[in-house]
Amino acid sequence: MRIIHSEEIENTVYALAKQACLSLIPSCKAALERAAERETEESAKFALSAVLQNAEVAAKENMAVCQDTGYAVILAEIGQAAHIEGKLFGDAVNDGVRRAYEDFYFRKSICDPLTRVNTADNTPAAVHTEIVAGDKISLTFLPKGFGSENMSRVYMLTPAKGVSGVIDAIVETVALAGSKPCPPVYVGVGIGGTFDTCTFLAKKALTREVGSHNPRKDVAEIEQTALERINALGIGPQGFGGKTTAIGVSCELAPTHIAGLPVAINIQCHCVRCAKAII
Amino acid sequence: MKKIRLPLTEEEISGLKAGEGVLLSGTILTGRDCAHKRICEYLDRGEKLPFDFKGETIYYAGPCPAPAGKACGSCGPTTSARMDAFAPRLLDLGLKGMIGKGERSGEVERSIVKNHAVYFAAIGGAGALYGNAVKKSELVAFEDLLSEAVYRFEIEDFPCVVAIDCNGGNIYKK
């Protein structure tokens, strides 16, 4: 058994929030640079160059790359041989979020769903924990903007729909979102599981590098085909028209029930921000 | 890119064409979901608003807090479609310009033409770029809404694209 103090968890979350909100992940920036080279239409090129210029300004000025510093989503893999001492795990995470959003001038975007009264410190975070082997804690911080979150969908397909039904659902979701989620988007897809677990898989898919492929060949083919069909939609950067509507599609899989084929599509804008650490 | 001075004049609005790039300078008001809801509640009650938006341009945005030495934190546009339910009413009362991101409803498009107004698209996700173009920021109303409060910004060379012009030209319907 290894003892990990909650202070270390809190400080790690604090550092991850800072890192994640201030910069794009390198694979996202590279994908946007490739897209900027490919685009021929003036407004599409303008949109992408502004986005790339913005990343530079953010780094130079120490400003959040996007003002929507998001719902703080934390994916934690906790080794079952690790023992946490001090605060409750969730409290440590929330305290790290609270301090980071205050200290680094990030926007506080969390409110009561009905009264809309803001909690004023960007908590609570959305915390997903998985118990894994080992004695370490792995933390992934995903600041999730809601312009894109709003465009996400869940489909409970029948098994007869099969692979083509899954691809249709992915493409339809992006087509319906149109210009609203800040395209070019990054598309996280959960396939299988239950109504709830497939949405978690879709979120988890967004923590993968842009341009990475699922190790299963048939799944990687779904990613590739869906991406090609999405980019044939012509929505383009910011919806101004163009060749790049998505910079990537990432699918994660889980076994499902014999009666169903759940598919969750979680849309991420072109500002892919994510930071990871292992304690 | 064409340089535009805000507040807009009727003549300037007539000269804007969907698809063209513009650099906006001058003063704008901010307002997003909660501020719009509250503005309409004031109007429903027949109460006088704490500010006048006649002739103004509204920016659909909720900024990050301003770090020391800056007028504003990161401040890119939010999705305009969420304000579609409120926009025609504001346009009828004299609002002239809107800055946001993404397509608008048919009702908003028609209201833009009817009221000789314009909708500019800022580049979503370019928050640091836009935050840096804010030279002055002043709280105007609804302080309790935090980032959703109404601010008056003085902006300089704010890069946008004319998305819907006063003749109904629409960049999203090319």
Boundary (domain end) residue, out of A122, A144, A166: A144
Q: Which amino acid is at B21?
A: G
Mean pLDDT (whole number) for A137-148: 98
Q: To the nearest whole number, what is the mean pLDDT of chain B?
A: 96
Task: Give pLDDT tens digits for A29-74.
Answer: 999 999 999 999 999 999 999 999 999 999 999 999 999 999 999 9
Boundary (domain end) residue, out of A125, A144, A163: A144
- Number of structural domains (chain A) is 2
Q: What is the pLDDT, as a whole number, of residue B165?
A: 98
- Residue A59 forms part of a structural domain: no
Task: Give pLDDT tens digits for A176-195.
Answer: 999 999 999 999 999 999 99
pTM, two decimal places: 0.95
Q: Are residues A164 and A245 in the same domain?
A: yes
Domain ranges of chain B: 2-173
Q: Are residues A89 and A200 in the same domain?
A: no
Is 0.95 exceeded by the ipTM?
Answer: no
How wide is the angle at C-alpha B76 spanned by C-alphas B70 and B82, nearest 5°?
135
Q: What is the pLDDT, as a whole number, of residue A240?
A: 96
Q: Do A270 and B125 touch (CB under 8 A)?
A: yes
Mean pLDDT (whole number) for B37-45: 96
Task: Give contacts of B106 with chain A, Cβ < 8 Å.
Answer: none
| Pairing mode, strands A137-144 and A275-278 | antiparallel
Mean pLDDT (whole number) for A159-166: 98
Task: Give contacts of B65 with chain A, Cβ < 8 Å.
Answer: 105-107
Q: What is the pLDDT, as a whole number, of residue B174?
A: 72
Residues B162 and B171: their CA atoms lie apart, in Å, by 8
Q: Are residues A129 and A153 in the same domain?
A: no
Is residue B82 predicted with pLDDT exceeding 80?
yes
Backbone CA torsion sign across B61, B130, B103, A183: negative
Q: Are residues A13 and A98 in the same domain?
A: yes
Q: Are residues A162 and A140 in the same domain?
A: no
Q: Are residues A71 and A140 in the same domain?
A: yes
Mean pLDDT (whole number) for B150-174: 96
Q: Are residues A181 and A210 in the same domain?
A: yes
Q: Are residues A220 and A180 in the same domain?
A: yes
Task: Give contacts of B126 with chain A, Cβ < 8 Å.
Answer: 50-51, 53-54, 66
Boundary (domain end) residue, out of A144, A169, A199: A144
Q: Do B21 and A50 touch (CB under 8 A)?
A: no
Q: Decide: B63 and B147 in contact? Cβ < 8 Å.
A: yes
Residues A232 and A186: their CA atoms lie apart, in Å, by 15
Q: Are residues A206 and A267 in the same domain?
A: yes
Q: Which residues contact A6 (CB under 8 A, 6 or more apart)?
A: A84, A85, A86, A87, A88, A89, A91, A92
Q: Are residues A165 and A123 in the same domain?
A: no
Which structural domain range is residue A133 located in?
2-20+65-144
Is residue A14 predicted with pLDDT exceeding 90?
yes
Question: Helix, strand or coil for residue B20?
Answer: coil
Q: Are residues A81 and A133 in the same domain?
A: yes
Is residue B150 predicted with pLDDT exceeding 90?
yes
> Percent of chain A scored above 90 by pLDDT?
100
Is residue A119 predicted with pLDDT exceeding 90?
yes
Task: Give pLDDT tens digits for A209-225.
Answer: 999 999 999 999 999 99
Residues in chain A: 279
CB proximity A134 to B under 8 Å: no
Q: For chain B, report the end-to-end CA distance as a whole number of angstroms.
A: 20
Confidence of residue A11 (pLDDT cuts 50, 70, 90): very high
Q: What is the pLDDT, as a whole number, of residue A174?
A: 98
Q: Are residues A227 and A264 in the same domain?
A: yes
- Residue A43 forms part of a structural domain: no
Residues B37 and B90: their CA atoms lie apart, in Å, by 11
Residues B50 and A29: their CA atoms lie apart, in Å, by 43
- A29 φ, ψ to 5°? -60, -45
Mean pLDDT (whole number) for B84-106: 97
- Residue A30 forms part of a structural domain: no
Q: What is the pLDDT, as a whole number, of residue B12?
A: 96
CATH number of B2-173: 3.20.130.10
Q: To the nearest whole number, what is the mean pLDDT of chain A?
A: 97
Q: Do A178 and B128 touch (CB under 8 A)?
A: no
